[in-house]
């Protein structure tokens, strides 16, 4: 099938392009779901093993009515000082590091060790209108709230209907 869109790479059909977007996992926040399946978040290379576990959900802002995206990351064993939330251009990165060797306590003989305390980094690609509003750390859960800011020119506009003879709206045929 020949690619009919000038925006798509010539080597990919539209169906193949959707497959590429689907393969990103949840990689982009704020993009149109009909076009990219509203892929929502993506763990970077260091987070592909599922660590740390995280939730991502969408809701409407109570203040503005705009869409909000919330990422909740389980950070058991981390303090707020060991966590970083940064935004650079269109990428949100959430990372954690353990200072010193906190994995092994010399006097402990572990029978089972299921609480991971290793460094991590999760990355999320943000659509150009998505802004990070803030973050909080409560009971071992880091929460990052983002809001999709809808530009004024993208909001619906009410067009006034005028009546009568308006010279600006009528044309003359010569």
pTM comes to 0.63
Q: Domain range for residue 96?
A: 42-100+113-151
Could you tell me the mean pLDDT of each successive run of 10 residues in the chain, 174 residues long?
33 49 55 42 48 92 92 93 94 87 69 82 89 95 94 84 71 57
Q: Confirm whether 92 is domain-assigned.
A: yes
Q: CA separation (Å) from 155 to 32, 62, 121, 152? A: 15, 18, 35, 5
Residue 171 lies in a domain: no
pLDDT of residue 42: 41
pLDDT single digits (tens) 91-126: 999 999 987 655 566 788 888 877 777 899 999 888
Chain mean pLDDT for the chain? 74
Domains identified in the chain, total number: 1
Which three-class secondary structure string do you get for the chain? CCCCCCCCCCCCCHHHHHHHHHHCCCCEECCCHHHHCCCCCECCHHHCCCCCCEEEEEEECCCCCCEEEEEEEECCCCCHHHEEEEEECCEEEEEECCCCCCCCCCCCCCCCCCCCCCCEEEEEEECCCEEEEEEEEECCEEEEEEEECCCHHHCCCCCCCCCCCCCCCCCCCC
Please report whether residue 172 resides in a domain: no
* 158 belongs to a structural domain: no
95 falls within a domain: yes
The verdict on residue 134 lying in a domain is yes
Domain with 131 in it: what CATH number? 2.60.40.790
Classify residue 91: in a domain, yes or no.
Answer: yes
- The CA angle 129-133-139, to the nearest 5 degrees, is 135
130 occurs within a structural domain: yes
């Amino acid at each position: 099938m020949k690619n009919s869109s000038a925006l798509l790479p010539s080597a990919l059909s539209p169906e193949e392009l959707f497959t590429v977007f689907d393969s990103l996992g949840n990689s982009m926040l704020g993009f149109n779901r009909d076009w990219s399946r509203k892929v929502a978040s993506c763990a970077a290379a260091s987070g592909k093993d599922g660590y740390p576990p995280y939730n991502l959900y969408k809701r409407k802002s109570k203040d503005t009515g705009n869409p909000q995206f919330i990422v909740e990351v389980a950070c058991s064993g981390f303090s707020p000082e060991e966590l970083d939330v940064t935004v650079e251009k269109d990428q949100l990165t959430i990372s954690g590091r353990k200072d010193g060797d906190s994995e092994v306590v010399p006097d402990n003989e572990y029978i089972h060790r299921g609480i991971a305390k290793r460094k991590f980094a999760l990355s999320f690609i943000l659509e150009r209108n998505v802004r990070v509003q803030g973050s909080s750390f409560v009971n071992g859960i880091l929460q990052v709230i983002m809001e999709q800011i809808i530009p004024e020119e993208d909001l619906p506009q009410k067009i006034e209907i005028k009546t009568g003879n308006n010279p600006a709206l009528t044309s003359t045929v010569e």
